[in-house]
Chains A and B, each alone.
Chain A
Amino acid sequence: MSRYVIKRLLLLIPIMLAVSFIVYFIIDFAPGDVVDIIAGNEMSEQHKQIMREEMGLNDPLPFRYLRYMAGLLRGDLGISYVTNKDVFDVYMMRLPATLQLATACTVVALLIAIPLGINAAVHQNSWIDSCSTVLGLLGISIPIFWLGLMMILVFSLNLGWFPSIGNDSPLSIVLPAVTVGVGQAALIMRTTRSSMLEVIRQDYLRTARAKGASEKAVIRKHAFKNALIPILTVIGTQYGAALGGAVVTETVFAWPGVGRLMVDSINNRDTQMVTGAIILTTMLSSVVILLIDLAYAFVDPRIKARYMKRGDNLGRK
């Protein structure tokens, strides 16, 4: 099993290099550079040139990238052009807020999705099933940023229950977490429902009932446990996406997380910061996906047996 984990982690290295290459080149292609942004209109062209020379921005792009890559391979993400701080440190300063939000969203999503999905499957074609279908459709059809604005409008501006922006009070997290959570709940619920439906007609459930297990125990212990794998997959990908994809939510709620940092850095043409932040985010979500893959083994003894047997032959595909 540890061989499998190590292999998966080593596979991350070429992927990270490729990601850094793509992002570095795309950002560099953008019109204007970081010096134009920092200096604005006040600095003369001559001064700007000196600044560029000092920052090494005048070197040709492949050369700059190779230098960056050399640092990257040593684990050095470089320093931010704008703040002159270590990219890794800046990222780590912002990470807690994002982790907090991503975790809170997932909790909200699970609280809505799992009970609703299970009940929709158990009482197929009932009113609760229809409700879940409508909610599932709405959840994937509403743009997150608009839902966020509506949340602010109703619960913050009109009712005054929660603060609308920032993360100063513990209540601040409620609105952004619910906003993103509802969107995530839609997908998790759809998966829960279809996965439960797949399991629910199996013979072993009838056997369990025949042996006198209560309906609750049948659903919880026998059905849900066996339906868990696809659900885990969705939860994992959603959590991974929340780590880097909460850009819009963080903008709407002025949440000081990683997403906001990345957008600001893109606007500032801070190539090192953007590339570093995207690499770190990508690594984080890859690790989450790896953890989910490992969690399969704990949920399903059959998979565990396979991991043990041929630990190196089990990729995601």
Chain B
Amino acid sequence: MEENSVIFDSGLTASKKYKKRSQISEIWHNFKKNKGAVLGLIVLAIIIVTSLIANFVIDYDTKIIRQVVSERLQGPSTKHFFGTDQYGRDIFLRILYGARYSLAIGFLSVMVSLAIGGVLGIIAGYVGGVVENIIMRLCDVFSSIPSLLLAICISTAFGASTLVLMFSVGIVSVPAFARVARAAVMTVVDSEYIEAARAAGATKMRIMFTHILPNSLAPIIVQVTMRVGSAITTASSLSFLGLGVPTPAPEWGGMLSESRAFIRDYSYMTMFPGIAIVITVLSINLIGDGLRDAMDPKLKR
């Protein structure tokens, strides 16, 4: 027994590295088996690549926002795959270009909630006591306000812009992240290796961020993926209400909002941006489901 622990100690760095890699590759192995998740990953990769190269291929000023009155409200054709809108702008190109808004807002707003909620949750779970009580009661208050309304209030207060949109969509899921992070930490915090670290004299900060955080990551990562999808839908709802990315930027929710007046006779205008949102969110949710099953095979049934 004594000997074993000595061997383990001397090989600590090597075995730690090895274990980490094997865990990730195991997750990847499980993930690959899920056809839907792989499909989602491929589709999302295509969308991300499109959004990254769009501004090199498509000129913003002449193709995306320039109004061509002579070509207004044309149905889908080989010249304009998805037709043109009321200002003669090509809807296909606008949707391609618009991917960047939805993706950026989706990911960054979740990063906002992760940064705030995650840190609050870790502190609550690790420190406990009064601090935990204050943080969790604050979360109760924030989550008791209907989330879309809270986002609308914040967007109204700080004005409609892309940055505000990210922030207001992000802030509403802070309580959810705080709860997940706190729960994840609480399952880890009583384990023996934390006790060992404490005995070895590690500071609270060090224990929190080098021991607890990496070990409670799995549920947080799953939560992040799931939330990106809903953040994109929430952001597009806000844009639809006129509180999102200001026009004439080709944001999908904003395009839908503009197309509403033309739904009777030019329904293609309403269809395509919506389909773009659905495909994007669907692929992210597929990945989220796959990740959840891959990270915790027990959950899969």
Instruction: Please list the residues of chain A having a beta carbon within 8 angstroms of any beta carbon in chain B.
Output: 15, 18-19, 22-23, 26-27, 29-31, 124, 137-138, 140-146, 149-150, 152-153, 157, 194, 197, 241, 243-245, 247-248, 251, 259, 262-263, 266-267, 274, 278, 281-282, 285-286, 317
Contacts and interface: CB of A to CB of B under 8 A. Distances in A.
A157 B271 CA distance: 14
A279 to B, nearest CB: 9
A143 B277 contact: yes
A267 B156 CA distance: 8
Contact of A244 (B138, B142, B149): B149
B237 A145 contact: yes
A282 B263 contact: no
Nearest to B289: A137
Contacts of A149: 256, 260, 263, 270, 274
Interface string B232-261: 010011001100000000000100100010
Contacts, number: 122
Given A19-B145, A137-B282, A286-B144, A143 B260 contact: no
B148 interface: yes
Contacts of A244: 146, 149
A19 B144 contact: yes
A142 B285 CA distance: 11
Contacts of A194: 301
B196 interface: no
- B: contact size bracket: 35 or more
Given A157-B263, A282-B144, A140 B230 contact: yes
Interface of A is mostly: helix
Interface string B258-301: 00100110010011001001100110011001000000000001
A25 B104 CA distance: 29
Contacts of A274: 153
A244 B150 CA distance: 11
B152 A146 contact: no
A67 B230 CA distance: 38
B240 A145 contact: yes
A263 B158 CA distance: 16
A251 B241 contact: yes
Contacts of B282: 137-138, 141
Given A15-B144, A30-B156, A137 B285 contact: yes
A15 B152 CA distance: 20
B247 to A, nearest CB: 17
Nearest to A281: B146
Contacts of B270: 146, 149-150, 153
A13 to B, nearest CB: 12
B154 interface: yes
A248 B240 contact: yes
Interface in B142-169: 142, 144-149, 152-154, 156-159
B145 A245 contact: no
A203 to B, nearest CB: 18
A194 B292 CA distance: 14
Contacts of A241: 146
A15 B140 contact: yes
Contacts of A141: 229, 233, 278, 281-282, 285
Nearest to A16: B144
5 A-B pairs with least C-beta separation: A244-B146, A146-B274, A141-B282, A141-B281, A29-B157
A15 B145 CA distance: 10
Nearest to A266: B156
B144 A285 contact: yes
Nearest to A282: B144
Contacts of B263: 149, 152-153, 157
B267 A146 contact: no
A39 B227 CA distance: 42
A105 to B, nearest CB: 15
Contacts of A267: 156
B132 to A, nearest CB: 11
Contacts of B240: 143, 145, 248, 251
B223 to A, nearest CB: 14
B1 interface: no
B7 interface: no
Contacts of B6: none
9 contacts: A22-B145, A23-B145, A23-B153, A141-B282, A145-B236, A145-B237, A146-B236, A146-B274, A149-B260
Nearest to B253: A143
A150 B274 contact: yes
B141 interface: yes
Given A19-B144, A137-B282, A263-B241, A143 B154 contact: no
A266 B146 contact: no
A18 B237 contact: no
Given A26-B157, A29-B157, A285-B146, A197 B301 contact: yes
Contacts of A251: 240-241
